[in-house]
């Protein structure tokens, strides 16, 4: 068959590619939501927010994203190492804190009253007060605040850790120490406690038979999520937030639309949830497929002419 139409397929193919490209451009790569959902590699979901007006108002102004995520308390900005949204816990690390391998001048760990109430250190986070004076309240009147956990006594720290051996060397005996919970640190500053250093460790339930060198140092916070019907907003494709003036709850649907409870169909940020993304992608695939079938039909009909 001698047919000039044989030149057609490439041009039809080109049309098809252009069509697909146009279709794909409709899928926004950047989220429409005014709320950032990552800081570095740490995912930011409700109840937390980086941008003012995002997340739950209770957690307002607690975070700072300067390359890394920082949790801010009156005693400093602590690097957030991880957030577990299922277990509702967040691990922070105080770079100025002493650990088994490094001795640093003491400073207090202080949280605001709101922080102590909604995101306090977890039950399995233990504070170790070290090099306490014999007059320390935790050795006298408040002795009962000290405990041993998983078979460990705080004296082990002096023997096992290079950083803490110095206390032992200077006095040729082990200065008093105390394993205690956050509440002790909350109500008594290090000056009142009369201990020169502290360290903290978490996941203490699993440390039976594990030496101090292998303990995990840092602070695990356990947060509560206000029950405000955020699920409904998220399912509609929005991000939960609040009015920055009144702190009244809002469902942030896009940079131009807010709603009180949930987003109207089609206004939600497409990247806010995988679910809301799916229908649009199917729609676009159907469009592409439709165009393709149309092209093929056209091609065939032209051939038959």
Give the residues lining the site for ligand NAG (CB under 6 A). 53, 64, 66, 70, 77, 131, 133, 146-148, 153, 166-167, 196, 241, 243-244, 250, 252, 256, 258
Shortest distance (Å) from residue 197 CB to ligand NAG: 7
Tell whether the torsion through CA atoms of 96, 102, 108 and 111 is positive or negative.
Answer: positive
Q: Which residue number, 131 or 276, has a Cβ lying nearer to ligand NAG?
A: 131
- With contact defined as beta carbons under 8 Å apart, do 106 and 200 qualify? no
Shortest distance (Å) from residue 202 CB to ligand NAG: 20
Shortest distance (Å) from residue 155 CB to ligand NAG: 6
How would you class 1 by CB atoms within 10 Å of its CB: exposed for 0-12, middle for 13-18, buried for 19 or more? exposed
Q: Which residue is nearest to ligand NAG (CB)?
A: 53
Shortest distance (Å) from residue 56 CB to ligand NAG: 13
Q: Which residue number, 73 or 200, has a Cβ lying nearer to ligand NAG?
A: 73
- With contact defined as beta carbons under 8 Å apart, do 157 and 128 qualify? yes
Shortest distance (Å) from residue 66 CB to ligand NAG: 5
Strand partners, 249: 242
Q: Which residue number, 118 or 239, has a Cβ lying nearer to ligand NAG?
A: 239
Q: Which residue number, 3 or 189, has a Cβ lying nearer to ligand NAG?
A: 189
- With contact defined as beta carbons under 8 Å apart, do 138 and 180 qualify? yes
Please compute Rg for the chain using Cα positions: 29
Q: Which residue number, 3 or 148, has a Cβ lying nearer to ligand NAG?
A: 148
Distance between CA atoms of residues 183 and 60, nearest Å: 23
Phi, psi of 193 (to 5 degrees): -65, -25
């Amino acid at each position: 068959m001698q047919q000039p139409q044989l030149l057609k397929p490439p041009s039809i193919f080109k049309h098809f590619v252009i069509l697909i490209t146009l279709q794909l451009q409709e899928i926004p790569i950047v989220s429409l939501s005014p709320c950032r959902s990552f800081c570095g590699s740490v995912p930011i979901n409700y109840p937390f927010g980086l941008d003012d007006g995002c997340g739950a108002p209770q957690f307002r102004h607690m975070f700072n994203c300067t390359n890394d995520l920082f949790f801010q308390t009156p005693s400093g900005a602590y690097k957030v190492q991880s957030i577990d949204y299922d277990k509702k816990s967040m691990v922070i690390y105080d770079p100025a804190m002493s650990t088994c391998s490094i001795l640093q001048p003491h400073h207090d760990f202080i949280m605001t009253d709101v922080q102590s109430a909604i995101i306090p250190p977890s039950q399995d986070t233990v504070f170790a007060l070290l090099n306490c004076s014999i007059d320390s309240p935790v050795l006298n009147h408040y002795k009962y605040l000290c405990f041993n956990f998983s078979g460990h006594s705080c004296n082990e720290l002096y023997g096992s850790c290079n950083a803490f051996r110095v206390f032992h060397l200077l006095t040729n005996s082990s200065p008093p120490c105390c394993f205690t919970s956050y509440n002790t640190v909350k109500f008594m500053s290090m000056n009142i406690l009369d201990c020169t250093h502290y360290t903290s460790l978490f996941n203490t339930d699993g440390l039976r038979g594990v030496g101090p060198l292998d303990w995990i140092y840092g602070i695990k916070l356990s947060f509560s999520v206000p029950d405000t019907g955020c699920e409904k907003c998220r399912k509609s494709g929005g991000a939960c937030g609040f009015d920055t003036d009144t702190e009244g709850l809002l469902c942030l649907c896009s940079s131009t639309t807010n709603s009180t409870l949930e987003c109207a169909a089609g206004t939600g940020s497409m990247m806010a949830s995988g679910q809301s993304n799916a229908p649009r992608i199917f729609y676009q695939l159907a469009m592409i497929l439709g165009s393709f079938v149309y092209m093929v039909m056209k091609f065939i009909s032209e051939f038959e002419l």
